[in-house]
Amino acid sequence: MTLKEGKEKFIQSWGALGSSWGINRTMAQIHALLLISPEALSAEEIMEELQISRGNANMNIRALIDWGLVFKELKPGERKEFFVAEKDMWEVVKNIIIQRKKRELEPMLRVLDEISSVDPESEEAEEFVEIIREIKLFSNKADSTLDTLVKSDSNWFVGTFMKMIK
Amino acid sequence: MTLKEGKEKFIQSWGALGSSWGINRTMAQIHALLLISPEALSAEEIMEELQISRGNANMNIRALIDWGLVFKELKPGERKEFFVAEKDMWEVVKNIIIQRKKRELEPMLRVLDEISSVDPESEEAEEFVEIIREIKLFSNKADSTLDTLVKSDSNWFVGTFMKMIK
DNA sequence: GCGAAGTTTCAAAAAATACTGAACCGACAA
DNA sequence: TTGTCGGTTCAGTATTTTTTGAAACTTCGC
């Protein structure tokens, strides 16, 4: 396989993966492109490589920076902005966990709290509150487990953890 | 908050959560409805409750069964099919991990393998292969960690694990 | 075999989401 | 002050995804 084919295949597949994760195809492709790029790239270069418009590139780069997956890099003398990806996969996963926890798990916890206040004025209502209580319990545990996970370091994750639970 | 409001809010929120997870809104809503339903429901009842068409209900119920999140229940005497949700959240999460691993992580591992065969005939190609190698290493670790996680039981997950890593 | 009750399929329509391109903004140099 | 280079925004358009609804199919009792 040639380098060109390999790069294309990677960008392609990473894009597809992203889209089953609520991340849009282009955003994931930009991330893929930067991941495999030893040098920082400018918006122009990204547009060129992926054949996308300036607006599209700009919006998705912004979003990647928001997620902590890409950083802006200013080269001395150059007016243009350049971009590099976080290359450490454990950092990438950690950032995704942090962001999704904040955007999804935490709001859900708040909703579950509100819902628990349903008046238990019937058999049915009591059953409902009980089911919600269980979901809340589980979610809280997931929440703190993720917190701990995010604080732990990569070596722990890939090394000790696996042996410990075997 | 009344029972009706509570149920609606839960179905609503679970639906929204689903849609940021590559699961479509309706599928997540059906799942939510079944989760909080002490009794098995028929397709008719689901259609009625969520105001959706027969085709939509059928397709999404099938998909939920595929994911192992919902089971068909046949009541003696009745010709209709009824559906119940898996209520144990740990089982729900486990099934989602199993399915997504199969659908997303495993294909990506295969792609990474193919890509590693890029000829290292230039500096750039060597760097590329090296980055891919790192991603592959990480993905393999994630793969086996998830395998182990899925084999472990709920109590372990929520109890021991957290204390161990603190 | 026929009709009733229920399920499945899928082409077409609707809705949601992403992308484009052009206008606009700001910083800088001439 | 003006022109250029880049970044940002966003209304309109294109694409993708989801939903509908009707027809086809299946199963069963008569």
pLDDT digits (tens, 9 = 90+) for B56-65: 999 999 999 9
User: Residues of A113-127 as b/e, b for ≥16 C-beta within 10 angstroms?
Assistant: ebbbebeeeeeebeb
Amino acid at A15: G
How much is the pLDDT for B157?
56
Q: How confident is the model at residue B21 (pLDDT cuts 50, 70, 90)?
A: confident
Query: Any idea which nucleotide's C1' is nearest the CA of B59?
Result: C8
Does residue B73 have a pLDDT over 90? yes
Q: Chain B residue closest to A37 (CA)?
A: B128
Counting every residue written for chain B, the total comes to 166
How much is the pLDDT for B152?
82
Q: How confident is the model at residue B166 (pLDDT cuts 50, 70, 90)?
A: very low
Q: Do B138 and A158 touch (CB under 8 A)?
A: yes
Q: Chain B residue closest to A118 (CA)?
A: B1
DSSP A75: P
Q: Which residue has the higher pLDDT, B155 or A108?
A: A108
- How far from the centroid of its chain's Cα atoms is residue B23's Cα? 8
CA nearest to nucleotide D29 C1': residue: B79
Coil, helix or strand for A58?
A: helix
State the smallest CA–CA distance between residue B49 and chain A in angstroms: 16
> What are the φ and ψ backbone dihedral angles of A66, each rounded to 5 degrees?
-50, -40
pLDDT in tens, A53-112: 999 999 999 999 999 999 999 998 899 999 999 999 999 999 999 999 999 999 999 999
Q: Do A132 and B6 touch (CB under 8 A)?
A: yes
Give the pair of three-digit tokens for residue A57: 């590139």
Q: Do B135 and A107 touch (CB under 8 A)?
A: no
How much is the pLDDT for A165?
43
Give the pair of three-digit tokens for residue B157: 């997950």
User: Contact B3/A124 with Cβ under 8 angstroms?
Assistant: yes
Report the pLDDT averaged over residues B119-128.
Answer: 93
How much is the pLDDT for B86?
95
The reply to whether the CB atom of residue B54 sits less than 7 A from any atom in nucleic acid chain C is yes
The reply to whether the CB atom of residue B100 sits less than 7 A from any atom in nucleic acid chain D is no
How much is the pLDDT for A21?
84
Report the pLDDT averaged over residues B44-69.
Answer: 97
Q: How confident is the model at residue B155 (pLDDT cuts 50, 70, 90)?
A: low
How much is the pLDDT for B156?
58
Q: Which residue has the higher pLDDT, A122 or B162?
A: A122
CA–C1' gap, A79 and D16, in angstroms: 37
Q: How confident is the model at residue B160 (pLDDT cuts 50, 70, 90)?
A: very low
**CA-CA distances (angstroms) from residue B24 to A82, A165, B27, B61, B65?**
36, 34, 5, 12, 14
Query: Which residue from A7, A124, A145 is facing B128, i.e. has the nearest CB?
Result: A7
State the smallest CA–CA distance between residue A133 and chain B in angstroms: 11
Query: Any idea which nucleotide's C1' is nearest the CA of A79?
Result: D6
Rounded distance between C-alpha atoms, residue A153 and residue A90, angstroms:
8
How much is the pLDDT for A60?
98
Report the pLDDT averaged over residues B71-98.
Answer: 93
Q: Tell me what percent of the residues of chain A surpass a pLDDT of 90.
A: 80
A3-19 helix and B123-151 helix, angle to the nearest 10 degrees: 30
Q: Do B3 and A166 touch (CB under 8 A)?
A: no
Range name among A26-35, A48-57, A63-72, A139-148 with the lowest pLDDT average: A139-148
How much is the pLDDT for A159?
54
Protein-covered nucleotides of chain C (CB closer than 7 Å) are: 5-11, 17-23, 28
Q: Do A165 and B166 touch (CB under 8 A)?
A: no
Task: Name chain B contacts of A35, Cβ cutoff 8 Å.
Answer: 131, 135
Instruction: Give DSSP secondary structure letters for A83-140.
Output: EEE---HHHHHHHHHHHHIIIIIHHHHHHHHHHTTS---SHHHHHHHHHHHHHHHHHH
Protein-nucleic contacts, chain A 71-100 to strand D, CB < 7 Å = 78-81
Task: Name chain A contacts of B22, Cβ cutoff 8 Å.
Answer: 19-22
How much is the pLDDT for A154?
65
In the 3-class helix/strand/coil scheme, how is chain B assigned residue by residue?
CCHHHHHHHHHHHHHHHHHCCCCCHHHHHHHHHHHCCCCCEEHHHHHHHHCCCHHHHHHHHHHHHHCCCEEEEECCCCCCEEEEECCCHHHHHHHHHHHHHHHHHHHHHHHHHHHCCCCCCCHHHHHHHHHHHHHHHHHHHHHHHHHHHHHCCHHHHHHHHHHHHC
User: Contact B49/B37 with Cβ under 8 angstroms?
Assistant: no
- Inter-chain contacts counted by CB atoms under 8 A, chains A and B: 141
Q: Chain B residue closest to A112 (CA)?
A: B10
